[in-house]
């Protein structure tokens, strides 16, 4: 408490121009940066998985399972930064009990549950059920119990029931794609619908969030696939990797175009808030917006991936470059969220001044806490990969189903 006040006095001494007194405290901190970031990773990873399943891009097969489990692991954690940021975390349940229909935030609980339970859980369940039944017979102890529990003590693995699983799984994925769009477009709407804040208030916000989500999710799965293959000492399927990179390239172009369009529109219409935002962009946001998000997170990957469409260096070099690019993109998208969430609070709604934001290390809103919520999904993912290794599954060709 005392520390908090001290920090606020420090911010007060650094205020540039005039901000409303209540604006000195920055209300949405690094944890709220993580929230759209993590949900974005979920949506993106899921869409990569559905490319294989629905759009039958079978070359992506090696990443299908990884993508699904990644999406699931991050989804389990997605609400945690939000809840830990609440002033009254124990009251979080109220959002499910009395959701306010006019609030963009209230529906989150339901969109979240729908996506977690109906889409991700069911798709994984139907995909893994036969394997879990088989594995339950081959293992003992904790693992055996988990398989039994997760398969709900079912035993039926006749070709007929497996075919049914496959069909339902397909339907779930078909529902899942619009759900993923909904989930992340909706997160964008939470920001885009705040008319008080000109930095957020744009109709493009949901679309931008959606495409940047796809970019980050695909980059994440690409990185995890490369690292996982290294750890498992497996040969990386370069065809698969090149295909992912190609999709990444396409979506990155769309993302870049949309964000560019948003900025060009702002500059051209130059509304009341323009001067204030202009100063913000070239001041406090310059490094995170132009250098990190713009150059390292967008333009550099775009140029590299673009070059790869015409000229491909040796596989060894490509692998390393892909890994580096995936990290760069992940950092870039993180700072895209940062620029939206934190950037939107650095200027006063009076447009007469700027406050500043310093992330503390400890405390509920420090970067240690944020780091925890970024590390936990990877722990969950490791556990899931141990429990449900996609590479040990019996091959089911999703493509055969509809043919």
- Provide the binding-site residues for other proteins, judged by CB under 8 A: 1, 4-5, 8, 12, 17-25, 27-28, 82, 85-88, 91-108, 117, 122, 125, 129, 151-156, 161, 164-165, 168, 186, 189-190, 193-197, 272, 344-345, 348-353
Distance CA 63, CA 65 (A): 6
Residue 313 token pair: 């260096």
For other proteins, the closer CB: 1 or 231: 1
Q: How far is the CB of 368 from other proteins (least distance, A)?
A: 21
Q: How far is the CB of 120 from other proteins (least distance, A)?
A: 14
For other proteins, the closer CB: 197 or 263: 197
Closest CA to 70 of 232, 220, 240, 247: 220
327 φ/ψ angles, rounded to the nearest 5 degrees: -65, -45
Q: How far is the CB of 372 from other proteins (least distance, A)?
A: 20
Distance CA 42, CA 220 (A): 10
For other proteins, the closer CB: 128 or 247: 128
Q: Locate tokens 């692991």: which residue?
A: 73
| Length of the chain as a residue count | 403
For other proteins, the closer CB: 99 or 363: 99
Q: How far is the CB of 245 from other proteins (least distance, A)?
A: 34
Task: Please give the angle made by the CA atoms of 209, 300 and 232, to the nearest 5 degrees.
Answer: 85
Q: Which residues pair with 17 in a beta bridge?
A: 353
Contact, 388 vs 69, CB < 8 A? yes
For other proteins, the closer CB: 100 or 232: 100
Q: How far is the CB of 134 from other proteins (least distance, A)?
A: 14
Q: Which residues pair with 16 in a beta bridge?
A: 354
Query: In b/e form, how buried is each residue of 176-192, taking b as 16+ CB within 10 angstroms?
Result: bbebbbbbbbbbbbbbb
For other proteins, the closer CB: 80 or 220: 80
Contact, 399 vs 56, CB < 8 A? yes
Q: What distance, in Å, lies between the first and last C-alpha atoms of the chain?
A: 64
For other proteins, the closer CB: 53 or 129: 129
Distance CA 222, CA 308 (A): 16
For other proteins, the closer CB: 104 or 376: 104
Q: How far is the CB of 162 from other proteins (least distance, A)?
A: 10
Distance CA 99, CA 151 (A): 33
Q: How far is the CB of 119 from other proteins (least distance, A)?
A: 13
Q: How far is the CB of 212 from other proteins (least distance, A)?
A: 19
Distance CA 46, CA 40 (A): 10
Q: How far is the CB of 36 from other proteins (least distance, A)?
A: 14
Contact, 216 vs 40, CB < 8 A? yes
For other proteins, the closer CB: 52 or 165: 165
Distance CA 380, CA 401 (A): 31
Residue 161 exposed, middle or buried by CB count within 10 Å (0-12, 13-18, 19+): middle
């Amino acid at each position: 408490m005392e520390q908090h006040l001290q920090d606020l006095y420090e911010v007060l001494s650094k205020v540039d121009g005039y901000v409303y007194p209540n604006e000195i405290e920055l209300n949405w901190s690094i944890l709220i940066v993580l929230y759209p970031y993590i949900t974005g990773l979920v949506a993106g990873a899921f869409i990569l998985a559905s490319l294989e399943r629905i759009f039958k891009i079978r070359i992506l097969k090696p990443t299908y399972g990884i993508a699904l489990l990644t999406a699931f692991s991050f989804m389990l954690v997605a609400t945690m930064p939000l809840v830990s940021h609440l002033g009254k975390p124990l009251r979080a349940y109220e959002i499910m009990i009395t959701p306010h229909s006019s609030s963009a935030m209230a529906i989150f609980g339901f969109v979240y549950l729908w996506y977690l339970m109906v889409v991700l859980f069911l798709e994984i369940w139907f995909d893994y059920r036969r394997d879990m039944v088989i594995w339950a017979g081959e293992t003992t102890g904790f693992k055996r119990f988990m398989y039994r529990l997760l398969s709900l003590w079912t035993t039926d693995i006749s070709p007929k029931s497996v075919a049914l699983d496959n069909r339902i799984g397909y339907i779930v994925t078909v529902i899942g794609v619009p759900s993923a769009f909904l989930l992340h477009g909706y997160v964008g709407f939470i920001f885009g619908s705040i008319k008080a804040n000109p930095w957020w208030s744009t109709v493009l916000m949901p679309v931008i969030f959606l495409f940047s989500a796809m970019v980050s999710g695909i980059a994440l799965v690409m990185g995890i696939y490369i690292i996982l293959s290294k750890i498992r000492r497996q040969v990386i399927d370069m065809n698969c990797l090149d295909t992912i990179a190609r999709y990444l390239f396409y979506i990155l172009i769309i993302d870049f175009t949309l964000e560019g369009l948003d900025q060009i529109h702002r500059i051209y219409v130059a509304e009341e808030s323009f001067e204030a935002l202009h100063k913000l962009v070239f001041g406090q946001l310059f490094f995170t917006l132009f250098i990190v998000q713009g150059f390292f997170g967008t333009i550099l990957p775009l140029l590299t991936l673009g070059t790869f469409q015409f000229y491909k260096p040796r596989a060894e070099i490509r692998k390393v470059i892909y890994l580096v690019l995936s990290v760069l993109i992940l950092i870039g998208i993180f700072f895209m969220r940062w620029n939206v969430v934190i950037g939107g609070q650095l200027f006063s709604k009076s447009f007469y001044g700027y406050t500043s934001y310093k992330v503390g290390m400890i405390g509920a809103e420090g970067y240690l806490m944020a780091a925890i919520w970024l590390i936990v999904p990877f722990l969950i993912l490791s556990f899931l990969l141990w429990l449900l290794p996609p590479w040990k599954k019996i091959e089911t060709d999703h493509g055969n189903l509809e043919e």
